[in-house]
A and B are shown apart, each in its own frame.
Chain A
Amino acid sequence: MSKVVEISPTTRHEGHTKLVLKINDEGIVERGDWLSLTPVRGIEKLAVGKSMHQVPKIASRVCGICPIAHTLAATEAMEASVGCYVPEDAMLLRYILQCANRLHSHALHNILSLPDMYLPGTDTKINPFTPEEPVRSVALRIQKLREVGQTVGEIVGGEAIHPSNPRVGGMYKNITPRAREKIYDLAKEALPLARDHMEFMISVFKNFQNRDTVEVGGMEVPVPDTFGFHNQGYMATAPVYGSSSLDDDPTWFPERWTEVRPWDWYMGETEIDYDEPNYPIGGTTPAGNKAWPQMEACMGVPLYDGQPVEVGPRARMVQYRNFDLKGAMGLQIARQMEYMDCIYGMMEAADALNTSGKVLADEIPQGDGTLGWAANEAPRGSDVHLVKVKDGRVRWYSLLVPTTWNFPTCSRALEGAPWQLAEVIVRAYDPCVSCATHMLVVNEDKRIVAQKLIE
C-alpha cells in the first residue's frame, strides 16, 4: 500500500524546491514529484519593449549563481535575432569566460555533494569544513580551483559575478597580452589540481554507488544498483560552449520544444500519511498535511520531442563523448570529467586569441522581428534564450533554463530509490532554481541595531 512522504524544502542546492514521494511498504519511491517553489517572476514580460542591450543585463540578474550563462545566452539570442555575426576573438573571450564559470561552478557543487558521501575505504562521511586531513587538502583544492575560475572570469568578463564585458555585437574590449599570460599561468597552475581533484571525486562517487547501504538520519538504507536511473533522452548543444540559430549547423531546434503546465504533469492533491522526524534538518513534513504538486509547482514543464530530457554534464558527455554511465553517480562522474575541458579550454582559447584583434562587429543590425535563439551550455545544462528583436527593441522573449528541463526527468529518476536518498539524486543534477530575492534580516531585538544607526 502506497504512502506519501514530503521533503520540503530540499537543501544543499540553489533555490527552493520540494519532493512529494509515493512510497511502497519498503520505503521505495513508486512515483516522485520534484517541483520548484520559487515563484514565477515574469521576467520575459518585463523584457518586452526594452532595448536589446539592456535585456541581457536584466537577464543576468535572474539568478545569483548563473549570471555568466544568462548573460551569454541572452546576448547571443539578441545577436541571433538581428543577424549579427561576432568577431572570432570576441567568441574566444566568451569561450574562456564559459570555461572559467564552469570550473568555478563544478568546484562549488562538490562542497554541496560531499556531505552525502563517504571517504573511500571507510564508514566516515565527509564534512567538507573539517580541519582534518585528508578532507582539508581536498577543501583547499576546491577553493583554489574556484579562485582560478573566478579570477579568469573577472579578467575576461570585467567583473567576477555579473560580467560587464560581453555586449551585443561582441565584447566591449579585448584583453591585454599580459592578461592573456595571466590566464595561461592560472590554467597551468590549476591543471594538476584539477586532475587530482577529478580522480578523487570520481573515486568518492564510485564508492557511494558500490556501497550496500548508506546512513541517512540514523537510518541505514540500501543503495540500489539502478540508483537514479531514468529512461529519458538527453539534450546538449555542444561539448563546452553552445549553439545559436546563426550557426550553419545549429544543434537545437525550437520546433522540437513544447511546454506543458505543471497541472498536466504533477500529482493532484494528496495527503501526507508518512513522516520521519529524524530525517536531516528538521524531519519530513508531518503526516496529516496536504500536498498538491499540480498547484504548487512554479514552473512550466518543457519537453523535447514530447518527452522530458536530461540536460547538463552527462547529456554533453553522452552526446559528444560516448559516455555511458547512468544513474545519479554517473551524472556526478560526468561532471568531474568536465574539469579538464575547462582548463584545456581556457588554455587553447587563450593560445588562439589575438589580443590585437577586434572584438566588436562593424555593424550591429537593429532586427526585423525574426526569431533568434541561443543555447548556452551552462554548468547545469542547456540554457536556451529565445527572442524576437525589432528596431533594436525586444518584442518577445523566453528563457528555458537548465533545471527547468531537469525537473521532470529527475522526477522519473527518483523511482526505485529509497525515499531517504531522493535528495542525493536531486543534488546530482546540481539544481539551480531561479533565485528569489536577497535580504539581510536583523533580529527581533532591535536595540543593538538601533544603537548603531548611522544616518
Chain B
Amino acid sequence: MLFREIVVVGCGNPLFADDGFGPAVVEELQKLDLPEKVKVIDGGLGGPHYLFTLMAHSDEPVKKLIVVDIADFGGKPGTLVRLTPEDLPPGSYRDVHSWNMVEPLQLLKDRVEIAIIGCQPKRVTEPNVELGLSDEVEKAIPKAVRHVLKEIGVDDGATIKVKADLGEEGTTPAQGGP
C-alpha cells in the first residue's frame, strides 16, 4: 500500500552533496525491522508533489508524517532540528519547482501530525553535481535515525533495540549496524 499509519519521507537530491541527507537516512531506516504500521519512502525531489499532496485524500489514513531533509538555519553543519509546519516560512514546501500550488504540508497539517527532522548542511553544490555527504552531515545520519525512531514511538519495539545498537549518544554505529 502506498501509505500506512506512520510515513517517513527522506527528501533531497544525492547528486548535490549534503542535499542527499534525507535519502541517506531513508537508506539506513530501510535496513531496520520497523513496525508494520510504518512506511519509509525515499522521496528524492518528489516528496511535495508525489506524496504530500496525496496524503490528505488517501483511503489509507496517515496519522503521522515524519520528513527528513536538510534545513539551512545557520547552525553548525550536521546539527539537527525538529520543526513543524508552523516553523517554516511560506513556500518551504509549496513546491520547489515554481508550480505555485497550494502548500501541501499546510493543507495536511490539520489532518496529519507532521514532524520535520532538519539537518544543517555544510555544502549543497547545486547546480554542480557532487556525490557524497560531508563528514559532518554523514555523522548526523545515525542521530537522525534515532530521532525518527523516537518519533515513531518507543512502544513499537524497534526503537529500544536500535537504541542499544547505537551505543552512546551521537556516536557513529559500528560497521554493519544498526
A residues contacting B by CB (< 8 A) are 9-16, 38-43, 46, 58, 60-65, 67, 104, 108, 111-112, 129, 140, 143-144, 146-147, 150-151, 154, 159-162, 281, 435-443, 446, 448-450, 452-455
Binary flags per residue of B77-112, CB closer than 8 Å to A gives 1, else 0: 011111100011100110011111110000000000
Check B73–A438 contact: CB distance below 8 A.
no
B176 within 8 Å of A by Cβ? Answer: no
Q: With A14-B97, A442-B87, A446-B73 in contact, do A455 and B2 touch (Cβ < 8 Å)? A: no
Contact of B54 among A40, A42, A150, A449 (CB under 8 A): A150
Q: How far is the CA of A160 from the CA of B75 in the complex (A)?
A: 33
Q: How far is the CA of A270 from the CA of B98 in the complex (A)?
A: 25
Check B82–A452 contact: CB distance below 8 A.
yes
Contact of A63 among B45, B71, B127 (CB under 8 A): B45
Which residue of the partner chain B has the closest CB to A142?
A: B57
Q: Which of B42, B46, B126, B170 has the most CB of A within 10 A?
A: B46
Q: How far is the CA of A452 from the CA of B57 in the complex (A)?
A: 30
Q: How far is the CA of A59 from the CA of B82 in the complex (A)?
A: 31
Counted as pairs of residues, one from A and one from B, with CB atoms less than 8 Å apart, the total is: 182
Check A62–B15 contact: CB distance below 8 A.
yes
Check B96–A61 contact: CB distance below 8 A.
no
List of A residues within 8 angstroms of B12 by Cβ: 437-438
- Ordered by A's residue number, 19 sampled pairs between the chains whose C-beta atoms are within 8 Å are A13-B98, A16-B98, A41-B15, A61-B13, A61-B14, A61-B45, A64-B49, A146-B54, A281-B100, A435-B97, A437-B96, A442-B83, A442-B92, A443-B89, A449-B87, A452-B87, A453-B80, A454-B147, A455-B78
Check B73–A42 contact: CB distance below 8 A.
no
List of A residues within 8 angstroms of B87 by Cβ: 442-443, 448-449, 452
Q: With A11-B99, A143-B57 in contact, do A438 and B11 touch (Cβ < 8 Å)? A: yes
Interface size class of B (residues with CB under 8 A): 35 or more
Check B118–A435 contact: CB distance below 8 A.
no
Which residue of the partner chain A has the closest CB to B170?
A: A455
List of A residues within 8 angstroms of B101 by Cβ: 12, 111-112
List of A residues within 8 angstroms of B99 by Cβ: 11-14, 112
B residues contacting A by CB (< 8 A) are 1-2, 11-16, 19, 41-46, 49-51, 53-54, 56-59, 69-75, 78-83, 87-89, 92-93, 96-102, 116-118, 121, 124, 126-129, 131, 140, 143, 147, 170
Q: With A455-B80, A455-B140 in contact, do A438 and B13 touch (Cβ < 8 Å)? A: yes
Q: How far is the CA of A50 from the CA of B108 in the complex (A)?
A: 40
Q: How far is the CA of A15 from the CA of B147 in the complex (A)?
A: 33
Check B19–A438 contact: CB distance below 8 A.
yes
Q: How far is the CA of A170 from the CA of B120 in the complex (A)?
A: 39
Q: How far is the CB of B77 from chain A (nearest CB, A)?
A: 12
Q: With A14-B99, A41-B15, A111-B101 in contact, do A439 and B44 touch (Cβ < 8 Å)? A: no
List of A residues within 8 angstroms of B59 by Cβ: 147
Q: How far is the CA of A60 from the CA of B15 in the complex (A)?
A: 10
Check A160–B19 contact: CB distance below 8 A.
no
Q: How far is the CA of A40 from the CA of B58 in the complex (A)?
A: 37
Check B126–A440 contact: CB distance below 8 A.
no
Which residue of the partner chain A has the closest CB to B89?
A: A443
List of B residues within 8 angstroms of A446 by Cβ: 73-74
List of B residues within 8 angstroms of A146 by Cβ: 53-54
Q: How far is the CB of B130 from chain A (nearest CB, A)?
A: 9
Q: How far is the CA of A102 from the CA of B18 in the complex (A)?
A: 31
Check B100–A39 contact: CB distance below 8 A.
no
Contact of B124 among A64, A154, A159, A437 (CB under 8 A): A437
Check B128–A436 contact: CB distance below 8 A.
no
Task: Give the 8 A-B residue pairs with the shortest CB-CB distance, closest first.
Answer: A64-B45, A437-B126, A39-B127, A455-B80, A143-B57, A449-B73, A161-B46, A442-B73
Q: How far is the CB of A161 from chain B (nearest CB, A)?
A: 4
Decide if the interface of chain B is mainly helix, strand, loop or mixed.
Answer: loop
Q: Knowing that A13-B97, A160-B2, A435-B96 are A-B contacts, what are 9 other residue pairs whose CB atoms are under 8 Å apart, sorted by A's residue number?
A: A12-B99, A15-B97, A143-B54, A159-B42, A162-B42, A438-B69, A449-B73, A449-B83, A453-B79
List of B residues within 8 angstroms of A65 by Cβ: 45-46, 49, 97
List of A residues within 8 angstroms of B57 by Cβ: 140, 143-144, 147
Contact of B83 among A11, A13, A452 (CB under 8 A): A452
Q: How far is the CA of A453 from the CA of B76 in the complex (A)?
A: 11
List of A residues within 8 angstroms of B170 by Cβ: 455
Which residue of the partner chain A has the closest CB to B96?
A: A438
Which residue of the partner chain A has the closest CB to B127?
A: A39
List of A residues within 8 angstroms of B96 by Cβ: 64, 435-439
Q: How far is the CA of A435 from the CA of B44 in the complex (A)?
A: 11
Which residue of the partner chain A has the closest CB to B75?
A: A453
Q: How far is the CA of A312 from the CA of B154 in the complex (A)?
A: 49
Check B80–A439 contact: CB distance below 8 A.
no
Check B81–A452 contact: CB distance below 8 A.
yes
Q: How far is the CA of A40 from the CA of B129 in the complex (A)?
A: 10
Q: How far is the CB of B133 from chain A (nearest CB, A)?
A: 14
List of B residues within 8 angstroms of A162 by Cβ: 42, 44
List of B residues within 8 angstroms of A449 by Cβ: 71, 73, 81, 83, 87
Check B70–A439 contact: CB distance below 8 A.
yes
Which residue of the partner chain A has the closest CB to B12?
A: A438
Q: How far is the CB of B114 from chain A (nearest CB, A)?
A: 13
Check A108–B98 contact: CB distance below 8 A.
no
List of B residues within 8 angstroms of A10 by Cβ: 98
Q: How far is the CB of A176 from chain B (nearest CB, A)?
A: 14
Check B126–A67 contact: CB distance below 8 A.
no
Q: With A14-B97, A435-B97, A440-B92 in contact, do A455 and B79 touch (Cβ < 8 Å)? A: yes
Q: How far is the CB of B150 from chain A (nearest CB, A)?
A: 9
Q: How far is the CB of A115 from chain B (nearest CB, A)?
A: 9
List of A residues within 8 angstroms of B80 by Cβ: 453-455
Check A9–B1 contact: CB distance below 8 A.
no
